Amino acid sequence: MIKLDLRKVLQDYVSLIEDFKSQFSPDINEFEQKSSRNRSGNIGEFKYHFHGAGCRLEKEGIVCEFDFMPTNEYPIKFSIWKMSEFILTNKAYGIDKLEESELHEALHPLVEDRTLVKLVFGGVVWEIYQI
C-alpha cells in the first residue's frame, strides 16, 4: 500500500500547475489562447510542452503532466499514469517504484469523498480524474 498523503500530493500537483498558469498567463481566456500558439518553451523555472489537450511541465526535475479541458467545472484532469509520473519524479516523496493498481486503489477514497471526480463524457465514466 502507498505510504503517502495523497491529499498533500494533490495539493502540490495543483499548486505546481497554478504556479505555471499564473506565470504563463493569469487570465484563463488568455491562457487558452496563448497555449494554442506557444506550444513549447520555457517560462521562469518551467519547461513546458502543450500536446493536444495535455501539457507536460518540468520544474527542478519534477514532471507534471495534466490535461486542460475546461469542459466542466473541473479544468485540471489527469490519469493514473500522469499522477504516477508526478510522484515518482518528485524526490520529496521518496518513492522510486509505484504500481498503477496501488495508486488507483489509493485514489478511490478521494473519489468517494468527492475530493476528486471522475470524468463522465458521452455517458461514459472514464479513468480520468478531475480536480
Domain boundaries, the chain: 6-130
Residue 36 predicted with pLDDT over 70 = no
Strands across the sheet with 46-51, in order? 40-43, 46-51, 54-59, 62-68, 76-78, 124-130, 117-121
Q: What is the largest CA-CA distance in the chain?
A: 42
Residue 51 predicted with pLDDT over 90 = no
The average pLDDT across 99-110 equals 94
Q: Supply the pLDDT for residue 52.
A: 77
- Kindly provide the residue ranges of all beta strands, DSSP E only, lying in 38-123, ordered along the sequence: 40-43, 46-51, 54-59, 62-68, 76-78, 117-121
Residue in the structure block whose three cell numbers are 506565470:
23
Residue 19 predicted with pLDDT over 80 = yes
**Is residue 111 helix, strand or coil?**
helix
Predicted structure pTM score: 0.88
Query: Residue 129 CB: number of other CB atoms within 10 A?
Result: 23
pLDDT bracket for residue 62 (50, 70, 90): very high
Residue 68 predicted with pLDDT over 90 = no
For the chain, the straight-line distance linking the first and the last C-alpha, in angstroms and rounded, comes to: 23
The residue ranking higher by pLDDT, 26 or 118, is 118
The average pLDDT across 111-124 equals 93
